[in-house]
Structures are given as structure tokens and as C-alpha cells.
Chains A and B, each alone.
Chain A
Amino acid sequence: MKTMRQERFIVDRGIKYILLVFALISIIVLFLIGLFIFRQSLPALKTIPLSDIFLKTEWRPTMDRFGILAMIVGSVMVTIGSLLLGVPLAIGCAILLAEVAPRPVQEIVRPAVQLLGGIPSVIFGLFGMVVLVPLVRQIKIAGNTGFGLLSASIVLAIMILPTITTIAEDAIRAVPQSFRNGSLALGATKWQTITQVVLPSARSGIVAAIILGVGRALGETMAMIMVIGNSVIMPKPLNGNPFTIWLRQARTLTGSIATEINYAAPTHESMLFVIGVVLFILIMIVNVIARSIIRSSKH
């Protein structure tokens, strides 16, 4: 006959192990995802030479041409574009919310940022297609259709802004007030304090925020399909001016998966899983880089 106390301890112990299993669910799911995606991609990897996949730019599945290089470049470029536009905006907003704006303004801007982050991506995509693309088309350069990297970067920048802003703001707020006080006491202006003291201290959090933004940008699908043009071509400048490369259409890795998964014949479908694997690996790399940056900045 167990005493009440013993019973309670058995329950305790049992629950602990159950919860341990729960905690491992994430890693199990992650493992399963990797497993399944990789498994489905094997047929294509076995029949198509890797150099044909990764070094060729022609993607015509109905003719057994499966080069994804152009898509990789497309994804990377649109991510870079969105970072160029979005990171300054986001960090600016974070600074605004954490250091500069008075309370009433914060109460307006912060919910606005939150709401921006909750809007479904299809709406951003539609908005981009119907409003932004015609606007970009106003840039009168031959070959500019409005669809392309620029429109996509703008849309993506707006979409990753909330992610970066919220986490960066948290990181900035976490800097101890004593740091700021010390700097101000030495005669620095508020702005000097921000740039020389607060931001460097919050660096790891800000980097984490940006990395999360990168992940979001690489993974965005629906909005991209609608504004980037989806042409599988290597982005090149439209004329002598190298900046016009941003007016080119492109195709993202995610876009290929979403538009073609429903139509795909077996090899084609397996190839789409290969793209999934590539995306998976890219995101892992980004995460690992982030973690090492954060670790190194914690000296």
C-alpha cells in the first residue's frame, strides 16, 4: 500500500517523462520533415545529374530540363533586396519605439506594426499586383514590366518589417538603463548614446531579429508568386545601368513549389521536393550563421 506521498511522487516522476517526450516533439517533427522531404526528393536526385540541377538555369520540366540555378539566384536576390529596404526601416522603427517616441505615439505605432505582421500574405501579394506593379512600371525603361525583383523586394520588405521590428525593439529595451545613464552623464547626446552604447549592446538581439527576417523572406511564397513575374531566367540588367537588374523578373524557389506541385508528373514532383531540400538547407545554414554570430558577440 503506497502512501499518499509515494503516490504523488510516482505521478510526478511519470509526468516528468511524459513532458520530456513532448519537449522532444519539435526535434522529432524537424527530423520527420527532413526525412520525408529528402525521401521524396531521392527519385529525382538519382536520375538527374547534380550538375544539371544546380548549375543549369533552364527549367522546363515537360522537357526534362531541371536547372534550378536561376531560382536560387532569384530567391537570394529578392531576399537581399527586401533586407536592403526593410532592415533600415525596421531598425528605425525599433529605435523609435524603444528610445525616441513618447508613450502615446508608441501606443499607436506598436499595434500598427503588430497588425502589419498579422495581415495574410495573399493580401500583400494582391496589393502588390494591383497597386505596386503598375507603379514600378512607371519607371520608363525598355523591358520593365513592373513585375520583378523590385516590386517583390518592396512587398517582402513590408512583410518582414514587423518581425524584425518587434524583436529588435525587445533587444533594445533589454539594454540596462544604467548604460544609457552612464553615457548621458558623460555628456553624450541621446543619439550618440543610442548609436555608441545601446545599439552595440543590443547587437546580438538585433542580429537575431534580422536573421529571423531573412528566414521569413526566403520562405515567403504566395506574395512572391503574384509580383515577381515567375519567369525562370537569370536576373540581368535591362540595359547598361547595373541597377536595372532589379527591374528584371525572377522566380523564387518557393514559387516553383507552390505553382507546380499540383500539376507535377512524378519526376517533376520529386524535383520540387529537391527544391524543398535546398530551401531547408539554406534556412539551416542561415540559422547556424545566426547562432554563431550571437554566440561570438556574447564574448
Chain B
Amino acid sequence: MENHIDLKTESSADLKVFRSNNLKLRRFTQNFAYSLVWLAGLITVLSLLVVIGYVFMRGMRGFEPGFLTTPPAGGLSGEGGISTTIVSTVYLVLMTITIATPLGIGAGIYLVEYAGEQSLGSKTVAALVQVAHFGVETLAGIPSIIFGLFGYALFVTTLKFGFSLLSASLAGACLVLPTVIRTTEEALLAIPTGLREGSMALGATKWQTIKNVVLPTAAPGIITGIILSVGRIMSETAVFFVTLGGSFNMPTSVFSSGRTMALHLYYLAMDTRAFDKAMATGVVLISSIIVINLLINIVSRKLRVGVRD
């Protein structure tokens, strides 16, 4: 390298010093920068540990035998357990996923598989696809309280569904729709076109190809999106705050009101004296989220293994 540097005024010894000093400076900068970067990581992990640690510490005090199996009993001391809230949460998750999954996967399939087609009206189709993408991205950024307001205005009031699992799951479906669509798109895009071409070469129609070849291969990615949405629904509060109603009874129909664990946590902490029980609910919630995250990691690991031809 030195041959190419034509510094007439510098001797090669000076050059060596300059280069090594400069290198020292750059190395120093790097080490300093690296330590900052490591610090950032440390602060992040610490924040997580502190928050979870606090919840678990207080929460363990709130646990009593039968916490998970007895329903809340009301009162200022927040008596009872959280059994009905667990069930409400499960129902809500199932209903929301039932609504959002077909819609989201269908939308994702269209946007990836059919959108590039040169067929009749392709200009309008292309424009529609752009519009659809705009819709998905914008919807993804809308705050959850707006979904709550929307749910309140449309489902609770106008359609007269009232404060119910139905209103809440419809609002929740709107909330997680972008997530499902996006992950479906990504999963589908990751599949090499060779796979599709091979299937078509064998005489399958587009839909047959999608149904029998593409979708199964993309399944892990799509499932990741669904699991992500489940996590989102479980931890959401604002949306369901204004659409679900807050009764802690066992829901008996889609029109029943209910209370998710996250809402119950808020209620216990704010309206009763039972802060420790609130934290105990938090323990259950966080544990579920941890399990869900583990599931996501396992499934997405399969994704990396699966698509390999």
C-alpha cells in the first residue's frame, strides 16, 4: 500500500508514525464506541429484568391457593382470583384470531401471488395493490385507542352490539390485521419462485399451487404472525377498555361483556386496595407472554430450516 502513497514532503518514518497514531485514535474511538453500544444493550436487558423482577416480587405476595381457579369476587379488597378473566382472555383471543386470520392471510396471498399478474385490467389492479399496501402500512401505525374509539362508535353504539366480546374482537381484529398481512407477505415472499414454477409446470392452476405447495411451505412464517397477534391481543388494554365492558363474570355468549387479564390488572391496581393481586395477575400475563415468545422462536426456527431447496 505504501507504494501508492506519494507524499513527497513526508518521510516514510513520519508516515509510519502518523499511520500508527491514526490507527491508535481510530482504535480508541472504536473501543469507546463499542463500550457505549454494550452499555445500550446492558441498559435494555437490565430494564427488562427490573420490570419483570418487580412484578414477580410483588406478585408472589398476591398469589393465594386457587388464584387461578376462583373468579373475582369484587369488593374494595379485590377478593377472589382471576379464573373468569383467563377464560375471557382466551375467548377474546380465539374470536379475534378467527376473524383476522382468514382475512389477513387471504389479503397477504393476494398481494404477493396475484398482484404481479399481467391480466385484464392490470393497471387498475396495480393501483389497487398500491392502495392496499398504503392501507396496511397506515393501519399498522394507528394507535390502539383509536381502534377503541372506532370500535365504540361502530360496533358498540351504531351496530348496537354493546360492550361485548363481539365488539371487542372485531375491534381487535382490525388492530392485528396489519400484522397478519405483513407476516404472511414476508413468508410468501421468502419462497423461491422455482417452487411455484415447478408446480405450474406440472399442470396445477395458480390456486392449486398456492393451496398445496406455497401455503404449507409458508406456514411457519404465517403462524409466527398469528402468534404475534395473540401476544398483542393479550397485552392490549386501550382497545378493549372501551369495547369490552369490564364485567368480571364468566362470558356466556359473544354478546357477554368480560374482562381480560390486562384489564383486570389495571382495575385491581387502580380501583381496589389489592395491588399485590394486580401484580400476581401480571405474573400470569407475563408468563403467558414468555411462553408465546418461546413458541414464536421455535416456529420461526422451523422457518429457517424448512425453506431450503
Contact = CB atoms under 8 A, between A and B. Distances in A.
Contact of A89 (B43, B50, B129, B205): B43
B138 A287 contact: yes
A51 to B, nearest CB: 24
Given A37-B150, A119-B235, A261-B149, A92 B135 contact: no
A211 B243 CA distance: 28
Contact of A30 (B44, B51, B107, B139): B139
B169 to A, nearest CB: 14
Contact of B149 (A27, A187, A276): A276
Contacts of B7: none
Interface in A150-184: 158, 161, 165
A226 to B, nearest CB: 8
Contacts, number: 254
Contacts of B177: 25-26, 29
Contacts of B143: 215, 218-221, 254, 279, 283
Interface in B5-54: 23, 26-27, 29-30, 33-34, 36-41, 43-45, 47-48, 50-52, 54
Interface stretch (A10-18, A57-65, A139-147, A242-250): A10-18
A190 B236 CA distance: 41
Which one of B47, B143, B231 has the greatest number of beta carbons of chain A within 10 Å?
B143
B51 A124 contact: yes
B121 to A, nearest CB: 11
Given A120-B235, A287-B137, A108 B51 contact: no
B265 A120 contact: yes
B238 interface: yes
Given A24-B131, A115-B293, A273-B149, A96 B106 contact: no
Interface stretch (B71-79, B108-116, B187-195, B250-258): B108-116
B146 to A, nearest CB: 6
Interface of B is mostly: helix
A115 B242 contact: no
Nearest to B102: A22
Contact of B153 (A36, A127, A190): A36
Contacts of A93: 37, 40-41, 44
A130 B275 CA distance: 11
Contacts of B23: 189
Given A100-B37, A109-B44, A23 B149 contact: no
A70 to B, nearest CB: 18
Nearest to A218: B143
A280 B150 CA distance: 11
A84 interface: no
Interface residues on A, range: 35 or more
A123 B275 CA distance: 12
A65 B41 CA distance: 46
Nearest to A192: B26
Contacts of B126: none
Nearest to B262: A120
A212 B138 CA distance: 10
Contacts of B114: 16, 19-20
B55 A127 contact: yes
A30 B178 CA distance: 11
Given A20-B128, A118-B292, 12 more contacts: A32-B154, A93-B40, A105-B41, A108-B45, A114-B296, A120-B235, A122-B266, A191-B33, A215-B143, A254-B145, A257-B145, A283-B142
Interface of A: 8-9, 11-12, 15-16, 18-20, 22-30, 32-33, 36-37, 39-40, 88-93, 95-97, 100-101, 105, 108-109, 111-116, 118-124, 126-127, 130-131, 158, 161, 165, 187-192, 195, 212, 215, 218-222, 254, 257-258, 261-262, 272-273, 276, 279-280, 283-284, 286-287
Interface of B: 1, 23, 26-27, 29-30, 33-34, 36-41, 43-45, 47-48, 50-52, 54-55, 102-103, 106-107, 109-111, 114-115, 125, 128-129, 131-132, 134-139, 141-150, 152-154, 158, 174, 177-178, 181, 205-208, 231, 234-238, 241-242, 262, 265-266, 269, 275, 278-279, 282, 285-286, 289-290, 292-293, 296-297
26 contacts: A8-B208, A11-B205, A19-B107, A19-B110, A22-B102, A27-B131, A30-B139, A92-B39, A118-B231, A118-B293, A120-B234, A120-B289, A122-B237, A122-B265, A123-B51, A126-B279, A127-B55, A130-B54, A158-B51, A165-B44, A191-B30, A215-B143, A219-B145, A222-B237, A254-B143, A283-B141
